[in-house]
Structure formats: C-alpha cells, structure tokens
C-alpha cells in the first residue's frame, strides 16, 4: 500500500500541482461558500414551517442535496479528470517520460486514478462527511447510509477506470481536441445523464423507503444498493486489470485469451442469476431477454481480444497448421460461444422454452455470428496486404445486415429473417415465430456465405510458413509472391 499510494512518485507529482497553497485556498473558499449558501437557503425554507425547531425534513433535504453534489464530484468531475489524464500527458509531450518511469503498471494506474483526483477526492471526502452527518440528523438508518456510500465509491471506481481504459494515447491532435469533445458531450448527452441524478436529489427525502427493495439473485434476495455496488466493483476490478494490461503490453489486445473466456463466464453467471428467478416464475416469458443480454458480449468480446496477423507470424512454430489454428482468433470465438451455449441451455431449461424453438434460435444465431466473425478474421489476415480492405468488408457487412430488411419491406414474406437484425429481434414478438424450415434455409444460406471467407482465411494461414522462411533470410521470389 505504501508503494502504491504513499510513496508513489506520480501522486507526489500531482500533489505539488493540485494542492499548491496559492490555489488550494481558492477552491476551498468556493466550496465552503457553496455549502454555506445551501445551509442558508434551506434554513430560510425551514423558517417558513410551523415548528421553530429543525425537522427531519430539513435534514433530509440537506442530505439529498449534498448527496447529489457528492455524486457529481465522484462520478462526473473525477471521471473527467481520469479521462483526460493520459491525453494531457500526450498533449504536453510528457507521455514518453511517463512510459519510462520505473513503476509497475499498477502503480501507474493508482497514480493516475488517485493523483489526478487529489483535489476532487479532498472535496469528496469533506462532502461525504457532511452527508453522513446530516444523514444521522435525518435518522436515516446506518445500514442504508453504508450501502449508499458503498454505491458511491464503487460506481466512482467503475466510471473512473472505464474512462481511463478507453482514453487514447496515440494522437496528439485528438488529445488537444478532447476538451472540445467533452464540452459537446456535456451539452448533448449531459441532460440525459444528469436527469437521473436530479430525480435522486428530488426523491432522496424518501430514500429510507428503498431500504426494503431487493434483487433476487439465484433466488437470494440482496438489497438493491448492495447489488448495484457489487456489480460496479466487479466490473471496476476488470477495468483496472485492463488498464494494467494496456500499460504493460502496449499494442496488445485488451483481453488475453484466458481473460476473455473468464470475463464472458462471469458475465453469463451474473446474467443468469438475474434472469433465473423471473424465468422460473413467468414460465418462459422472459427467456427472449436472455438472448439479448447474453449474446451481445459473446459477439463484442472478440473485438477486444483480436490477435493481429503479426502475432500469428511471431508465434508461429513448425508444429503444423493445426497449432496455428489452435492459437487463432477463430478458436477463441469457438470457446466463447461454447460458454454461451452452455448457459443458454440452462436458461432454456429454467424458462421451459420449446425445445425446437430453442434449437432453431441458437443454431440461427450461431450461423449469423459465424459469418460476422469470419469477416472479422478476414480483415485481420488481409489488412497487412490490402490496407483498405476494412472499407470493403464494412460495405459487405452493411449489405448483409440491411439488404434482407429492405427486401422484406418490398416483397414481404420471410426475407427479414435472413438478416441478423431481423432474426434476432423477432424473438421479442410473441405473435411471430421462425418456422423450422425457414430456420434451416437461414442456416444453409449462412453456411454458404462462410465458404469463401473460410477458404481465403485458410489460404492466408498457409502463407505464414513461407513468410517466416522469408523473414529467416531465405527470400526467393516465388516464396514472396505466394506469401503476399
């Protein structure tokens, strides 16, 4: 702990700039003025009441307002600081110095998340003390206050870590324009994001009523605040692990192969735990929601764990093509969808889904996902040879997703089911059902579409041994032509 925080040189560096007495007193004066103004306005409102003594409503009102301020400090202000930390280093041309610091990736992560937010955390700590104080005066149960603090801190960890994980480190131009983008995001998206916070501030006077609200997780009733905080903590830890990997292995995928499988496994466990109780009670009504929640990460995780063609070249061994295929993106995709199918079978049994419908839905979705993932692998192996191939594959992807929907609008019939979007969203229309014969034709169409990409990918895999021979210093012209 001492190396991570107390003796962390990054934190000491940020402390000298943020907690400088010449500027610190200005921030503290503004903060104290805001707090005193809130007390003054609430006391004026309380004087209009019949009772001359401060009531629970007075303290609850202050509690709600300060809780809203605490939320803004931890979830918005601190997140902005974390999101711009790396970009500021790039803009100031000090990022190379940051990379060469003799610190572990965990020390750098703590140095950014804590050091960049020293002033923010100082004001948040003062506000949290006032929140707890007025919570006691308002007779809010201590257990509920503890749960609220837990949610505040864990969601703050999640938001700060996710924005740091997604921050860009490669473009000075983007770093210089990040402030403008943040202002535009605040103007356009801010009202939608802040509206729930205003609702929290408005209804926090009745916040004690939420003490009995719980979530059923595998049949175990957990207080909703504790459950939300636990989810934020779980995914926040994954974000921190991603930041550590990003700082340790620059240019590598966000997920390693094992991490991708573990992340999907944990996600499916959480999703099944949430949906299992209503599945058991509603007799299959909520089962389509399982597909929406569970299949999305199985499709998106490959984007964060995608190995490049250079990785294939680097890790190739003379063991044969099977060893290369075993370490390729395609085998990882197969592992991810195996996990998804296993959990889907459990969900189908719990939701009492029709066996034929379940097989049709799973097989259909797998066939669509296979086409999408083969297009992704096609981009991986051919992008070094054709840098603009992503544009062509993107055009084919749009046609693949949209063209059947357009044909369905023109000629009607089952044409929409030949689009991934049409096939997927029909699950939520109880009056419409994909007949088994239609499902078979959809699977056959996707199987045919997989043939050409699979052959092209196989050809590119076969060129890897020839490229390695060229790299080893045996560059005959025929080898170069066939490898390229």
- 3-state SS class at 217: strand
Query: What does the alpha-carbon distance between residue 449 and residue 439 come to, in Å, rounded to a whole number?
Result: 15
Residue 449 has a CB neighbour count (10 Å cut-off) of 18
Burial (0-12, 13-18, 19+ Cβ within 10 Å), 134: buried
Distances (CA, A) of 298 to 264, 395, 482: 7, 23, 35
DSSP string for residues in 148-200:
HHHHHHHHHHHHHHHHHHT---S-HHHHHHHHHHHHHHHHHTHHHHHHHHHHH
Q: What angle separates helix 287-304 from helix 355-382, to the nearest 10 degrees?
A: 10
Write down the pLDDT at residue 297.
87
Write down the pLDDT at residue 1.
63
Per residue of the chain (484 residues), give pLDDT as tens: 667 777 788 888 888 888 888 888 898 999 999 989 988 888 876 665 555 555 677 888 888 889 999 999 999 999 999 988 888 888 878 887 888 888 888 888 888 899 889 999 999 999 999 999 988 888 888 888 899 999 999 999 999 999 998 876 554 434 444 444 444 444 444 454 444 445 544 454 455 555 567 888 888 888 888 999 999 999 999 999 999 988 888 778 888 889 999 999 999 999 999 888 877 776 555 667 787 788 888 888 888 888 888 888 877 776 666 667 777 888 889 999 999 999 988 888 887 777 787 888 888 889 998 999 999 999 999 998 898 999 999 999 999 989 888 888 887 777 888 888 888 777 766 666 667 788 889 899 999 999 999 999 988 888 887 787 776 665 544 444 444 4
* CA 118 remoteness from chain centre: 25
Measure the N-to-C terminal CA separation of the chain; round to a whole number of Å.
Answer: 52
Query: What does the alpha-carbon distance between residue 156 and residue 146 come to, in Å, rounded to a whole number?
Result: 15
Write down the pLDDT at residue 474.
53
Buried-state track 201-232, b at ≥16 Cβ within 10 A, e below 16: beebbebbebeeeebbbeeeeebbbbbbbbbb
Residue 16 has a CB neighbour count (10 Å cut-off) of 8
Whole-prediction pTM: 0.80
Beta-sheet pairing, 220-223 with 214-217? antiparallel
């Amino acid at each position: 702990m001492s190396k991570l925080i107390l003796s962390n040189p990054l934190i000491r560096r940020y402390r000298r700039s943020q907690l400088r007495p010449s500027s610190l007193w200005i921030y503290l004066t503004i903060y104290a003025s805001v707090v005193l103004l809130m007390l003054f306005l609430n006391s004026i409102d309380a004087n209009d009441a019949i009772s001359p003594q401060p009531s629970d409503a007075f303290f609850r009102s202050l509690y709600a307002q300060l809780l809203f301020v605490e939320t803004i400090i931890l979830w918005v202000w601190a997140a902005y600081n974390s999101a711009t930390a790396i970009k500021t280093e790039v803009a100031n041309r000090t990022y190379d110095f940051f990379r060469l610091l003799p610190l572990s990736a965990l020390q750098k992560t703590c140095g950014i998340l804590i050091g960049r937010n020293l002033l923010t955390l100082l004001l948040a700590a003062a506000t949290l003390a006032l929140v707890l104080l007025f919570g006691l005066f308002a007779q809010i149960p201590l257990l509920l206050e503890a749960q609220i603090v837990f949610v505040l801190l864990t969601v703050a960890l999640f938001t700060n870590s996710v924005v740091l994980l997604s921050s860009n480190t490669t473009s000075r131009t983007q770093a210089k324009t990040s402030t403008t983008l943040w202002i535009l995001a605040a103007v356009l998206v801010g009202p939608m994001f802040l509206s729930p916070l205003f609702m929290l501030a408005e209804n926090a006077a009745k916040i004690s009523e939420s003490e009995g609200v719980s979530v059923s997780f595998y049949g175990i009733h957990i207080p909703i605040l504790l459950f939300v905080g636990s989810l934020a903590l779980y995914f926040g830890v994954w974000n921190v692990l991603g930041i550590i990997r990003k700082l340790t292995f620059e240019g590598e995928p966000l997920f390693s192969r094992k991490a991708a499988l573990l992340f999907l496994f944990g996600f499916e466990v959480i999703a099944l735990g949430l949906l299992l109780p209503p599945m058991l009670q509603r007799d299959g009504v909520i089962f389509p929601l399982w597909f929406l929640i569970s299949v999305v990460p199985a499709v998106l995780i490959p984007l964060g764990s995608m190995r490049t063609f250079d990785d294939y070249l680097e890790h190739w061994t003379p063991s044969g093509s099977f060893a290369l295929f075993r370490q390729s993106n395609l085998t990882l995709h197969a592992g991810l969808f195996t996990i998804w199918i296993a959990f889907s079978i459990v969900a189908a049994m719990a939701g009492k889904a029709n066996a034929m419908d379940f097989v049709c839905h799973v097989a259909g979705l797998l066939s669509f996902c296979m086409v999408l993932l083969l297009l992704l692998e096609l981009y991986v192996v051919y992008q070094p040879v054709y840098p603009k191939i992503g544009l062509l594959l993107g055009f084919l992807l749009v046609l693949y997703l949209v063209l059947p929907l357009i044909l369905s609008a023109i000629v009607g019939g089952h044409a929409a089911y030949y689009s991934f979007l049409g096939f997927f969203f029909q699950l939520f229309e109880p009056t419409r059902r994909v007949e088994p014969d239609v499902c078979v034709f959809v699977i056959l169409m996707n199987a045919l579409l997989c043939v050409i990409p699979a052959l092209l990918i196989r050809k590119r895999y076969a060129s890897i041994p020839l490229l390695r021979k060229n790299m080893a210093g045996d560059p005959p012209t025929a080898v170069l032509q066939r490898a390229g």
